[in-house]
Structure formats: structure tokens, C-alpha cells
Amino acid sequence: MNKERLLPNVNLERETRSCIYCRSIHDGVTRFCNKLRDFSRKALDVGRNDPRKTIYAIKMGFALSLVSLLIFFREPLPDISHSIWAILTVIVMFEFSIGATFIKGFNRGIGTFLAGMLAILFAALSVCVGTWFGGEWEKAVIVISFFVTGSFGSYLRFYPSMAPYDYGFRVFVLTYCILMVAGNRTRDYAQAIISRLVLFAVGGFVCFLVNMCIYPIWSGDDLESLVVNNLKELATSLEGCVNGYLKYVDYARTSTRFSTHQAFDDQLLHGYKTVIESATTEQNLLGFAVWEPPHGKYRKVYNPWKSYVKVSIAIRHCAYTVMALHGCILSEIQAPSEKRQVFRNQLQLVSTEGAKVLRELGKRIEKMEKLGTNENILKQVHEVAEQLQKTIDQRSYLLVNSESWKIGNKSNKELKGRDDLGKENKTLHTGFKSQSETAVYVKSPLLLASNRDFPKKNKQLRKHAPWPSWISFQGVDLIKEDEVKTFKSASALSLATFASLLIEFVARLQNVVDCFEELSEKAEFKDPNVVSTSDTRV
Amino acid sequence: MNKERLLPNVNLERETRSCIYCRSIHDGVTRFCNKLRDFSRKALDVGRNDPRKTIYAIKMGFALSLVSLLIFFREPLPDISHSIWAILTVIVMFEFSIGATFIKGFNRGIGTFLAGMLAILFAALSVCVGTWFGGEWEKAVIVISFFVTGSFGSYLRFYPSMAPYDYGFRVFVLTYCILMVAGNRTRDYAQAIISRLVLFAVGGFVCFLVNMCIYPIWSGDDLESLVVNNLKELATSLEGCVNGYLKYVDYARTSTRFSTHQAFDDQLLHGYKTVIESATTEQNLLGFAVWEPPHGKYRKVYNPWKSYVKVSIAIRHCAYTVMALHGCILSEIQAPSEKRQVFRNQLQLVSTEGAKVLRELGKRIEKMEKLGTNENILKQVHEVAEQLQKTIDQRSYLLVNSESWKIGNKSNKELKGRDDLGKENKTLHTGFKSQSETAVYVKSPLLLASNRDFPKKNKQLRKHAPWPSWISFQGVDLIKEDEVKTFKSASALSLATFASLLIEFVARLQNVVDCFEELSEKAEFKDPNVVSTSDTRV
């Protein structure tokens, strides 16, 4: 009876278990398929966003299959396995752009030559030692030579300026090992070394040929579009930051920002980060571009690529200010929204005009066009910045706590009672007073602690009142009125910070324009006036 | 006569010429020697600054010479040239830290396995095609397979998350080529592929063995010291920025700063840059550290390395503020020196206390010590920050142009005449007025244009008056008095910006302390109170 009652249960259990297995396998397969789909989609996007990457891959495949034909030439080469060294050279040396291939080829050439010399040296030494002291000592010399080469090669990788050639050192060590092993095998070091060096040369030649003749990719083009892109990104970022600052700020969201990397997820805001991070890429591209011969629209033998980088450095100088502007959005101390609205129009005008200048410069660089002789590209933006500064001047009572002025207490009180206060101003002034008492909304670390990045534990961890102590003053009367006032004025001053950073941005724009003008002279950009007159003649 | 008179000249010329040659050769040799000496000095410094790099290099040499012994085992291996593949594996796989070697080994293993599978697949296909359609078709299949592998391998290098595995892809393509060439040569694909895979495994095994057994280098240690170093660097940088701001600023020097990279040369100032740039290194180290088993002082199986990175992110959040502070030093719009001196003591106190907190946290992380239960590490710095804010509050008439207040004009004029103005305040207030008229010293783009980074040409290039137009107002009366006032107040507000950024820095310190407390909980740091009581017991 007991058995009968148990059996169905066991069966049921088995079925359930097998069902669970089925489901977990099914889930696993589904998840794998989804991942595969995601992967392919992203992989396709790479080529779609920059078709040159696809072309590069095809070129690489072509060069590889071209050099692999060597396998089948059995006649001139006694041992076809050697052809792998030509293949290895192609794999190691085939780079994206012409400039990079040139540099890589140059470095590879020097590295191979040095490895060859070193191999000949140690080979001669080992043979000598072998003849005099016996075969065992020859082996010892070879092993020691491997040790010395391996150690030095690895050590020099850490040399400060050698970081980009990291795998160049590996290739050097590898080449040395290949030559020694081959020589040791045939006992004819000279022949082994020379035949391999020839194969390396063949591989290098195929690399150059394929890379230069089929759809060459130029680092110079990349450098130019990087500069243009930086200008565009910064423009978007500037507008985004100002608009973001003026928008109502969701504090729960802001507080998570710093710890996760969401701060930079916002398309509109993260532009400046691209600009700041582009420094390394820029230096790399400059390094490649100076090796490239004239091509496309760059007809000068020594195109002033350095001036392009100078423009980019000036742009970065501006980007740091935009970064600081963004810092105001992420700030712990926030100015109340209604105060921001007072300066709304001026702030937005400055950002729009500033962005316009950046975009215009980008267009000029793309078209390789100078600024006109009577054109002051900065006129508009300077005007609106002056306007902003004037507005701040006229309304700076919103930014400071004039009540606590040691010299102004009494007269300010008088001021309040005066009849000549304009109605608008009255509202603003009193509005500020009343609002700031209710609307001191500062991102409290307590709020921060409660979000998912800061586990609940943290709440118990916190042993002291947070600072600035806004949050406590809303509920409990622990804080002295004195302190509250202090923090209120900090919040107001943060608006001054934002505005003054924006004005600083405008001041820095001058450097960008200066660098652009230097570039346009050196790279012999065309004069738009001349073009337009010749156009009208035609 | 003519000839005779000419000859000595020719001789003299010859002598002079040979002298010039001698000298130029001599100069060249001297220059080369100097460069070589510089190079060796720098190379030695690498090892002196981090002896682990020397140890790594020696380990690499040892692993290489160990695996090179395979060359001499002629018995089990029919063709000793194969042993090069074990050597190649060591060269490719031997990494600095244990974690990195683990990851590299894992990736290399997967890559080799995939390359092996692919090789077997294409080998079978080529043999089949060869049997059915003839030898020429077999070759075609091999060449096509090279093309396909080469193209896909190169294309996937560009896949966003694949950037760190760049040369992993090259190794994959290389492995495939090696297997195919070897198989094609002996016509026994299976045997060739397996023998090479075994050699790869031998190489990999030697790598692990040497790297783990001889002075293992841990990424976890590096990650910890990176975080500690970031704290120290930021502390130095904060103090440096505040002191730099308070010092007399040499404008000719400042103006060159942005274009050359001197801005970051100042040891005292560039610390924040190290902190900001450490993001990538940190992520890499985290990636390696999580693979590492417990070791040294980290006894936990899953040490919370992520919490270390979180602390570092919080530090970086502060570093952005220090960067903005440094931006004030490089700013186009500068506050007059005597106004800065008014806030001197408060600014310096805040920076000193802030730096103290950062350094203290660094020490605690090094010692793996918690904060005491009744310890408020931020108390001091909060107090001085409040003091600074109060001072700003009381003296904010220095920062704004109250004359232009729409609501305050008349009463402010009254204010000036009042008898109850303290003497100090009077001096300050009037001092500000008089000084700012003579001392509006803003880095003019004209000055900028005259320095070496901006060729003289630029002076002619500039077609319009610079902005802000301070410089012109000193000489010529072109600018309206109105505008002058506007810019004067911008210069004063820039001081407010500096102060409010410093207060923002203090507010952000809370996050660092929170993250530190989370880390100290998760990583089970020891409690200083408990330690001290046990110490006294002993």
C-alpha cells in the first residue's frame, strides 16, 4: 500500500525532473541563440558604421591567400614549411591604414634585421664553443642566448615610449627564436637565416602591395574627421549640458549617476568625453599621418597635420569647461530651479551661439575653406555672452546672501521696504527667499545610500549626519539656523559657477578660432571670397 | 700667379671641409653616445621604480630557455623544427601578472581549440574536394580557407568589446595557418594538427608553471596600490591647485599652457590627471584580479575587488572637481590677486583638511583598517568648508557688482556714505574698486598669439578685437564703459566659481567615505578599536 502510494510520486517526480532538465536546456539554447543574434547584429553594425573596416578585413584575407600560394611552389623552396614565415609576416604586419603599415614595416624591418644580426652572432658563438668544448656547450650557449634575448626583449617592453610597440618586442624575440631553431636544425645557420629573412621580406612586400593598391585607407583622413567630429560632439554636448541644467532635475536619478557610468550614457551629454578621450587616438593618427604621401584633397607634400592636432587641443581646452558644466548637473549642491529659470534665455542663447561657431568651424575644415577677411565668426557669441554677464550683474542679488554682508545689513533691510522696487523684482526677490527655504534640494548621501549601488547596509554604516546637512534640516531642528543659511547661499552660488563657466567657455573659443586660422594658412585652405567671385565670373 | 694664389685657398678649403666632416662625425658620435646614455638611464629607471618588471623579464627569459630545451629532444619528435610552436606559445602567452596569464591562457586555449576545429574542418573539405575534383581544387579550397579565416579574424578585431584581444585574433589566424600548412605538407592533417596542439599545450603549461611558482605578481596588489595612489595623488593635486591659485600668477607663462602640454607637467597639479586616466588600467586590473586565488593579505576566496574600483570611481568623481579647480588657474578670466587673498586662509584650510581625509583613507586601505565606530573623519573638513562658505557670504560684495542691481542702486550709494562702515571693509571695498580698474589682467589672445606656439603670422591673421576686450580698454577708449563693467564683474565671479567648486569637492568627499565603508565591510577590514584593545591586553 505504502509502495503503491509512493510510486506515482516517484514517477511524477521523475517527470517533473526531466521537465526541469528539458526546460533548462531549452532556456540555455534560447539564451545562446539570443546572444549569438546580438553578437551578429553588433558585428554587422561594425561594418555598417565604417565600411572601411570590412574592406580592410577583405584586403587582409586577400593578402593572406596571396602569400599562401607560396605553399604550392615546391621547386625553389626545398622545405615548404618555411613559407609559414611569410604568412606570419603578413599576419603581424598588415595594418589598417597606410601610415600604420609604413611604420609597422619600418619597425618590423629594423626588428628583423636586429634579430638576424643577433642570431648570426650567437650562432657563430655557439658553433665556436661547440667546436672547442664539445656539443653540450653549444646547446648551453643557445639556451643562454634564448634567456638573454627573452629577458631583454620583455624588459624593454616597459620602456616608457615603447608601449605602442609592445608586440613589436614579442615579434623581435619570436624572430630570433625562429632563426636560431632553424639554424640549429639544418646546422647551416647562414643559409637558414638568409632564407627566412627573404621570406619575411616577401611577406612584407605583399603587405605593402595589397595595402597600397587596393582601396588605400589614410590616417590623415581619419585625423581630419576626428577633429571635425570633435567640434560637432562638443557643440552637441554644450547644448545638451545647458538644456540639461535648465530642465527639472530628477534627483533620484542624478544620485545614481556618479557610481554607475550612466553619467556618460546620455548621448547629449557625453560628447565632451569623446573629445577629451580622443587625445591618444589623435597622437596615434598624427604619428601615422606624417608618414603618408600626398593623397586625395591633401595635395601638399608636408601637410600640416600638427596644426590639425593643435586645433583639437584647443577644442579639448574648451571641452574641459563643458565637463565642468556637466559637473554642475551632477553636483551635490544644486541651485533651485526657479533661479535657473531667471537666466534661462541668456544661458540658452550663449550655448546655441557657441555651438553654432563650433559647427561652422567643423564645416570649414571639411570644405577646406578659410574664414572670410571681414568675417568675425565670434561676434554673435560674444554679444550674447556679454548679455548673460550683464544679466548676472543685474540679478546677482539672487546669487549671494546680501543679508550677511558685514557692510550692508541695515541698508538692505531698508531696501526691502522701499517703494521704488519694480513689481517683477519684488516677486523675484521674495520668491527667492520663500522658495529657497522650501526648495533646498541637495543630493543627500542618504538618498545615495539607498539606491541599488549602495547596499542597504550602508544606512547602518553611516554614523554621522550627512553634509551639507539639508536633509536633516527639513525634518529635525538639529542644525543651527546659521548653518542652514550658509548652505542656502552655497546652493545659489552654484548657479554663478555654471554661468561663469559658460562665459569661460566663450572666452576659450577664441583659441579654437586662432588655431583654425593658423591651420587654414598653413594648409592653404581656399578663400571663400575668391571662390565666390570666380564662381560669379563663370 | 692666379693658380698659385688659388691653390692655398683650395687646400685651405679642403682642410676646412675635412675639419667640418671630422667635427660633424664627432658631433654625431657624441650625440649618439648621449642618446644611448639617456636610453640606458631611462631603461634602468624602469626596473628601479618597479623591480617586479625586472623579475618578470627574468621569468620570461627562464620560461623561454626552459621550453627551448625541447629543441634538443630529437627522439620523440620526428621533426625538431616543430618545437618552435611551444616557444611561440610562451612568447605570446607569458604575461606580467597571474590573473592576466590565466585570462590569456583561457583565451589562447579557446582560440587554439577553435583554430584546430576549423583546420580539421577545412582539411577534411580540401581532401574530399581533392579526391573528387583533382589536386588543383584542393589547393583552391586551402587558399579560399585562408582568405575566409584571415578576413573574419581581422573583421572581428573591430568588435567593440574585442579591443583588448586584438592580438588574440592575430594568434588565432596564425594558429590556423600553422596547422593548415603543416597538414598540407605531411598530407597527414590529423597527426600534424594534434602534434602542434600538444606543443601549444606544453608551451602553455611551462608559462603557468614559471609564472605561478617563481615570485608570482598579483594584479590584486596592483589594484589596491592604484586606489591608494589615486587618493594620495588627488590630495597632492588639491593642495597644489589651491596654492597655485593663491600664488601670484605669471600670465605670460599661463598663456602658453594650454597649447603645449605643460599644463600637466606641474608635478603638484597633474595628480588629478593620473586619477582620471587610471580608469582603463583599473578596469583591466579588475578583470585580472577576479581570476586570482587568495594570496598574501587577501585571504577571502572572493575578495571584493569591485568595491576597490567603486572607491576609485568615487575618487574620480572628486578628481573632476579638482580638474575644474585647475581649470580656474588656466582660465581666460582671472580674479584679481588681492581678492583671492581675502579668502586665502579659508581656502587653504579646506584644501589641507580635504587632503588629510584623502591621505587618511589611503593609509586605512593599505593597513586594511576600518574607520572607528565613533570616528567622523569628515568632521574637520566640513567645519572649515562651512567657515569658507560663511566668509564668502559675508564678503560676497567682493564677488558681485551690486551697483548694477536693478533693485539696489540707490541704497548702495547711500551705503558708501554711511559712517558705520568698518575701516577694514572700507579699504577692501574701495580697494576692490580701484584695483580692478588697473588690474583686470586677463590672458589676452593677443598675448597668446605672440608666444612661440602661435607664430607671429597670427598677429596679422587676427582681424577683430579680442574678447573679453580688457586689453583694448587699457590702451584705447574704444570700448563702452558699460562693457568694461560687465567684464570686471565676470572676473570677480570667477573667484566665486573657484570657492564653490572647492565646496563641491568637500561635498563629494562623502561619497568616497561611503564607498570606503562599504569596502571595509565587504573585505572584512579589521576594527582599529578591537585591535588596540587586544594590543593593550597583550
Residue among A189, A393, A494, A512 with most chain B CBs within 10 A, to mutate: A393
Q: How close does chain A come to B367, measured CA to CA in Å?
A: 20
Cα gap A320→B192, rounded to integer Å: 58
- pLDDT value, residue B501: 85
Distance between CA A498 and CA A322 in Å, rounded? Answer: 10
| A81 contacts chain B (CB < 8 A) | yes
Distance from CA of B317 to the nearest CA of A (A): 7
Q: Would you state the pLDDT for residue B472?
A: 35
DSSP at B376: -
**pLDDT value for B519:** 92
For residue B95, what is the nearest residue in chain A, using CA coordinates? A154
- How far is B486 from chain A, CA to nearest CA, in Å? 6
Residues of B in contact with A390 (CB under 8 A): 404, 486
Return the half-sphere exposure (C-beta side, CA atoms, 13 A cut-off) of residue A310.
22
Burial of B122 (0-12, 13-18, 19+ CB in 10 A): buried
Cis peptide before B528 (omega within 30 of 0): no
Share in percent of chain B as helix, strand, coil (round to 5): 80, 0, 20
Contacts of A327 in chain B (CB under 8 A): 320-321, 324, 504
Q: In this complex, do B394 and A404 lie within 8 Å of one another by their Cβ atoms? A: yes
pLDDT at position A351 is 92
- Write the pLDDT tens digit of every residue in A263-307: 444 666 678 888 888 888 888 899 889 888 888 888 888 889 999
- Contact flag A320-B320 (C-beta cutoff 8 Å): no
Q: For A40, which DSSP code?
A: H
Cα(B205)–Cα(A326) distance, rounded to whole angstroms? 50
SS percent in chain A: helix, strand, coil, step 5: 80, 0, 20
Residue A177 sits at the chain B interface (C-beta within 8 Å): yes
- Please compute the mean of the pLDDT values over residues A302-322 and round it to a whole number: 90
Burial class (CB in 10 A: 0-12, 13-18, 19+), B301: exposed
Nearest CB to A415; choose among B324, B411, B486: B411
* Angstrom distances, CA of residue A390 to CA of B262, B334, B412: 34, 18, 18
What average pLDDT does range A222-248 have in this prediction?
89
Asked whether the beta carbons of B206 and B90 are under 8 A apart, the reply is yes
Q: How many CB atoms lie within 10 A of CB B524?
A: 13
Residue A151's pLDDT is 92
User: Shortest CB distance from A324 goes to which of B324, B412, B494?
Assistant: B324
- A298/B contact by beta carbon, under 8 A: no
Q: Considering chain A, what percentage of its residues have pLDDT values greater than 90?
A: 18
Mean pLDDT estimate for chain A: 75
Nearest to A521 among B406, B425, B457 (CB): B457
What is the Cα–Cα distance from A350 to A353, expressed in whole angstroms?
Answer: 5
Range with lowest mean pLDDT among A46-50, A392-396, B211-215, B437-441: B437-441
What residues contact B77, with CB distance under 8 A and at least 6 apart? B70, B83, B195
Q: What is the mean pLDDT of residues A197-224?
A: 90
Q: Is the pLDDT of residue A479 over 50?
A: no
Q: What is the pTM of this model?
A: 0.72
A61, A411, A497 member nearest B415 (Cβ)? A411
* Cell digits of residue A396: 546677482
Contact B500 A486 (CB under 8 A): no
CA nearest B68: which of A108, A174, A50, A113? Answer: A174
CB distance from B18 to chain A under 8 Å? no
> Binning pLDDT at 50, 70 and 90, where does residue A231 land?
very high
Q: Rounded to whole angstroms, how far apart are CA atoms A351 and A241?
A: 9
Please indicate whether, in this complex, the C-beta atoms of A57 and B405 are within 8 angstroms of each other: no
How many whole angstroms separate alpha carbon A184 and alpha carbon A140? Answer: 12
Q: Is A38 helix (H, G, I), strand (E, B) or coil?
A: helix
Q: Which residue has 593643435 as its cell numbers? A: A310
Which of B56, B418, B483 shows the shortest C-beta gap to A386?
B483
Contact B493 A499 (CB under 8 A): yes
CB–CB contact B321 A313 (8 Å)? no
What 8-state DSSP symbol labels residue A293? P
User: Are B504 and B341 spatial neighbours (Cβ–Cβ below 8 Å)?
Assistant: no
Longest C-alpha distance within chain B, in Å?
A: 113
Q: Would you say B455 and A310 are in contact if contact means Cβ atoms under 8 Å apart?
A: no
pLDDT of A410 above 60: no
B452 close to A (CB below 8 A):
no
| Complex ipTM | 0.71
Separation of alpha carbons B498 and B502, rounded Å: 6
The DSSP call for residue A218 is: -
| Residues A423/A430, Cβ–Cβ less than 8 Å | no
Nearest to A504 among B331, B393, B454 (CB): B331
**Is there a contact between B148 and A382 if contact means CB atoms under 8 Å apart?**
no
Task: Give the residue-averaged pLDDT of A338-358.
Answer: 88
Q: SS3 for A35?
A: helix
Please report the number of interchain residue pairs, chain A to chain B, with beta-carbon separation below 8 angstroms.
Answer: 423
Residue of A50, A70, A88, A147 to mutate, interface with B, max B Cβ within 10 Å: A147
CB proximity under 8 Å: A 419-448 to B:
420-422, 425, 429, 442, 445, 448
List residues bridging with A298 in a β-sheet.
A295
Q: Give the list of residues 6+ apart from residue A490 with CB closer than 8 angstroms, or none.
A: A333, A468, B389, B500, B503
In terms of Cβ atoms closer than 10 Å to its own Cβ (0-12, 13-18, 19+), residue A80 is middle
Interface of B with A in 224-263 (CB under 8 A): 258-259
In the stretch 94-113 of chain B, residues with CB closer than 8 A to chain A read 94
Residue of B nearest to A42 (CA): B159
The helix (run of H) or strand (run of E) holding residue B105 is helix B98-133
Q: Nearest-CA residue of chain A relative to B519? A: A458
Residue A134, Ramachandran bin (φ over 0: left; ψ between -120 and 50: alpha; else beta) = left
Ranges of chain B with pLDDT below 70: 1-12, 15, 74-81, 163-167, 248-269, 332-333, 396-490, 530-538
Burial class for B439, CB neighbours closer than 10 Å (0-12, 13-18, 19+): middle
* Cβ proximity of A292 and A218 under 8 Å: yes
pLDDT at A43: 87
Residues β-bridged to residue A526:
A369
pLDDT at A297: 84
In chain A, which residues have their Cβ closer than 8 Å to the Cβ of B150?
57, 60-65, 91
> Do the Cβ atoms of A378 and B464 come within 8 Å?
yes
b/e sequence B377-392, b meaning 16+ C-beta within 10 Å: bbebbbebbbebbbbb
- DSSP label of A490: H
Give burial (CB, 10 Å; 0-12/13-18/19+) of B482. Answer: exposed
φ and ψ of B150, to 5 deg? -60, -45
What pLDDT, on a 0 to 100 scale, did the predictor assign at position B258?
43
Residues of A in contact with B71 (CB under 8 A): 142, 181, 184-185
Contacts for A59 with CB less than 8 Å, ≥ 6 apart: A94, A210, A211, A214, A215
Select from A139, A422, A485 the Cβ nearest to the Cβ of B406: A422
Q: Alpha-carbon Rg of chain B, whole angstroms? A: 35
- Alpha helix locations (H) across B395-524? 409-417, 423-438, 445-450, 457-461, 470-475, 481-522
Q: From A325, A112, A340, select the one nearest A238 (Cα to Cα).
A: A325
Beta-bridge partner residues of A295:
A298
What DSSP element (H or E) covers A162?
A: none
**Distance from A293 to chain B by nearest Cα, in Å?**
25
CA gyration radius for chain A? Answer: 35
Question: A147, B62: Cβ pair inside 8 Å?
Answer: yes
* DSSP string of A101-146, one letter each residue: HHHHHHHHHHHHHHHHHHHHHHHHHHHHHHHHH-HHHHHHHHHHHH
Measured distance CA(B255)–CA(B247) in Å, rounded: 16
Asked if B412 lies within 8 A of A414 by C-beta distance, the reply is no
- The values of phi and psi at residue B444, to 5°, are -80, 140
- Helix A51-68 to helix B166-186 angle (10° resolution) is 30
Q: Is any Cβ of chain A less than 8 angstroms from the Cβ of B124?
A: no
Query: Which residues lie closer than 8 Å to B246 by C-beta, 6 or more apart?
Result: B340, B341, B344, B347, B348
CB A331 within 8 Å of CB A194:
no
pLDDT of the residue at B295: 86
Q: Give me the pLDDT at residue B175, please.
A: 85
CB of B71 within 8 Å of a chain A CB? The answer is: yes
